[in-house]
């Protein structure tokens, strides 16, 4: 190892797109001598790759910055300073405010600007403070990134689409990630072949803010759908499993539904956020579909692929939500029967239309409805997990567990599955029989 190698620690928040972006930050920094490490204490650069979806996201970032500041201060008199960068959606939303509240931060960069990291760091090293990059470039960032050199392991993420044109009234993504953009199919195919043929990936997750809105061009310049892209990827011999996330009901086209029945490598699982089961609330959210449209999609998928499992996102206490509206959401969840779901109280995002509404739901009402919704969703999850007891599944063991000789992988339905006495199987696909069921995981025995 070269003695002049610098070290970067990246803390990633939020969606799978951010996970992908963080791996590409490592690729951007490698040519200027940085390698990734998993702790702050030994780092020369700390990057917080942030998400603005969750409640009080910005405040949590400022709290984390305060902790990193203590390490930075401790090194003030040393010859090895600690630089701090904030990237991602909070950076895009907060901008210069980050420098005002945390003046010790060196770099603020939006989700489209991390390819500029070498230039931003050079400015920092030249004692230029408060370097910021928030513009949406005319040339997409994917075209400005170097070839990937990082290894994601047996399970890899690949971004195929970014941004959103939906403008749901509660969401900041169109403002922080910009308009929808789909990468050319040939670029994606090259990246995936490299991951599979040269870096050992056997499971692939395609990611995007509206991944099923993908409409990239093929080599002839003709637009293709996500289903067509998945069909081409499935032809890569050593690629064994394909997933995609996150989808919007408005973009769930028939060819993608059919792909779940036609392509064995496409896992029998779909994360399809509904947010609410009331048509009145869906309209207020600007979701662009009704609850019946969503249930029709679920029905079509179950006819095509009877063993498919569903997860979703729910926002509880959206402005104007009545008890009747909430009951409609509860009823929809019971109708679908989710294997897992994410459920949150509505919290206003500055600059979004919903935040300006005067009919905000009282906090105690939101809290009560959230608890009732979580009880229902947890029961649905437990019921689904019980159905898995005794089943045989193919699992890719891609993570180390907390106990010695324990490895963890994901079931076809995205549950965590842990296997004991299995360290020699790391990175491999194994056949297991589910022997124990827990609320948040399953235990498997290698067959």
User: pLDDT tens, position by position, for the chain (447 residues)?
Assistant: 344 689 999 999 988 888 888 998 999 999 999 999 999 999 999 999 998 876 677 889 999 999 999 999 998 877 789 999 999 989 998 999 999 999 999 999 988 888 899 999 999 998 888 999 887 765 566 666 667 766 678 999 999 999 999 999 999 888 888 889 999 999 999 999 999 999 999 999 999 999 999 999 998 999 999 999 999 999 999 999 999 999 999 999 999 999 999 999 999 999 999 999 999 999 999 999 999 999 999 999 999 999 999 999 999 999 999 999 999 999 999 999 999 999 999 999 888 999 999 999 999 999 999 999 999 999 999 999 999 999 999 999 999 998 888 999 999 999 999 999 888 899 999 999 999 999 999 999 999
The rounded distance, in Å, linking the Cα atoms of 302 and 22 is 35
The rounded distance, in Å, linking the Cα atoms of 270 and 110 is 29
What's the predicted TM-score (pTM) here? 0.86
The rounded distance, in Å, linking the Cα atoms of 176 and 173 is 5
DSSP 59-111: HHHHHHHHHHHHHHHHTTTSSS--EEEEEHHHHHHHTTHHHHH-TT--EEE-T
The rounded distance, in Å, linking the Cα atoms of 65 and 394 is 41
**Structure confidence at residue 137 (pLDDT):** 64
For residue 48, the cross-strand partners are: 11, 86
Domain locations along the chain: 6-133, 151-267, 392-446
What counts of helices (H) and strands (E) characterise the chain?
Answer: 13, 19
**Structure confidence at residue 149 (pLDDT):** 67
Q: Exposed, middle or buried: residue 288 (CB in 10 Å: 0-12, 13-18, 19+)?
A: middle
Which CATH fold would you assign to the domain 151-267? Transcription Regulator spoIIAA (3.30.750)
Residue 377, SS3 per DSSP: helix
**Structure confidence at residue 123 (pLDDT):** 94
Tell me which CATH code domain 6-133 carries. Answer: 3.40.50.12160
**Structure confidence at residue 3 (pLDDT):** 47
The rounded distance, in Å, linking the Cα atoms of 52 and 13 is 9
**Structure confidence at residue 192 (pLDDT):** 96
Q: How many CB atoms lie within 10 A of CB 23?
A: 20
The rounded distance, in Å, linking the Cα atoms of 340 and 28 is 35
| Cis peptide leading into residue 246 (ω within 30°) | yes
Q: Can you read off the two tokens belonging to residue 124?
A: 């920092």
In total, the chain counts a number of residues equal to 447
**Structure confidence at residue 2 (pLDDT):** 45
**Structure confidence at residue 80 (pLDDT):** 86
**Structure confidence at residue 138 (pLDDT):** 54
DSSP-derived pairing of the beta strands 269-271 and 392-400: unpaired
Q: Can you read off the two tokens belonging to residue 256?
A: 């993608």
Backbone angles phi, psi at 259, to 5 degrees: -60, -30
Cα 65 to Cα 86, 96, 284: the distances in Å are 9, 15, 36
Residue 230, SS3 per DSSP: helix
In CATH terms, 392-446 corresponds, of 3.40.5.50, 3.40.190.290, 2.40.50.140, 2.30.42.10, to 2.40.50.140
DSSP 110-129: -TT-GGGHHHHHHHHHTT--
**Structure confidence at residue 177 (pLDDT):** 85
Among the listed residues 286, 274, 293, 292, the one whose alpha carbon sits nearest the alpha carbon of residue 341: 274
Query: Are 348 and 59 in contact, with CB atoms under 8 Å apart?
Result: no
Q: Exposed, middle or buried: residue 394 (CB in 10 Å: 0-12, 13-18, 19+)?
A: middle
């Amino acid at each position: 190892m070269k003695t002049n190698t610098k070290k970067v620690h990246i803390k990633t928040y939020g969606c799978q797109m951010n996970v992908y972006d963080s791996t590409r930050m490592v690729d951007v920094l490698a040519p200027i001598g940085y390698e990734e490490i998993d702790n702050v204490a030994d780092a020369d650069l700390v990057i917080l790759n942030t998400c603005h979806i969750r409640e009080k996201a910005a405040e949590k970032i400022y709290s984390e910055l305060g902790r990193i500041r203590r390490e930075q201060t401790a090194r003030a008199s040393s010859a090895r300073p600690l630089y701090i960068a904030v990237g991602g959606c909070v950076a895009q939303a907060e901008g210069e405010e980050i420098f005002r509240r945390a003046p010790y931060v060196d770099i603020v960069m939006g989700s489209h600007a991390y390819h500029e990291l070498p230039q931003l760091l050079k400015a920092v090293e030249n004692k230029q403070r408060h370097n910021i990059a928030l513009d949406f470039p005319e040339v997409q960032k994917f075209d400005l990134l170097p070839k990937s050199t990082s290894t994601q392991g047996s399970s890899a993420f690949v971004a195929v689409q970014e941004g959103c044109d939906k403008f749901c009234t509660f969401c900041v993504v169109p403002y922080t990630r910009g308009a929808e953009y789909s990468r050319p199919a040939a670029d994606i195919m090259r990246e995936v072949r490299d991951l599979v043929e040269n870096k050992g990936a056997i499971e692939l997750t395609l990611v995007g803010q509206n991944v099923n809105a993908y409409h990239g061009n093929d080599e002839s310049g003709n637009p293709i759908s996500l289903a067509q892209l998945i069909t081409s990827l499935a032809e890569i011999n050593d690629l064994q499993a394909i997933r995609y996330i996150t989808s919007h009901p408005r973009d769930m086209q028939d060819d993608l539904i059919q792909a779940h029945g036609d392509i064995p490598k496409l896992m029998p699982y779909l994360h399809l956020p509904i947010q609410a089961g009331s048509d009145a609330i869906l309209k207020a959210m600007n979701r662009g579909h009704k609850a019946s449209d969503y249930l029709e999609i679920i029905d079509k998928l179950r006819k095509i692929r009877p063993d498919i499992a569903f997860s979703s996102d729910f926002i509880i206490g959206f402005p104007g939500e009545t008890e009747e509206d909430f009951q409609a959401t509860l009823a929809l969840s019971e109708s679908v029967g989710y294997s897992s779901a994410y459920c949150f109280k509505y919290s206003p995002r500055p600059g979004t239309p919903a935040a300006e509404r005067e009919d905000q739901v009282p906090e105690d009402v939101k809290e009560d409805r959230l608890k009732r919704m979580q009880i229902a969703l947890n029961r649905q999850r437990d019921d689904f997990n019980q159905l898995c007891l005794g089943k045989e599944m193919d699992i890719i063991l891609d993570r180390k567990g907390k106990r010695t000789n324990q490895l963890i992988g994901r079931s076809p339905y995205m549950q965590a599955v842990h296997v004991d006495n299995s360290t020699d199987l790391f990175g491999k696909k194994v056949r297991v029989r589910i022997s124990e069921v827990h609320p948040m995981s399953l235990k498997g025995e290698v067959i």
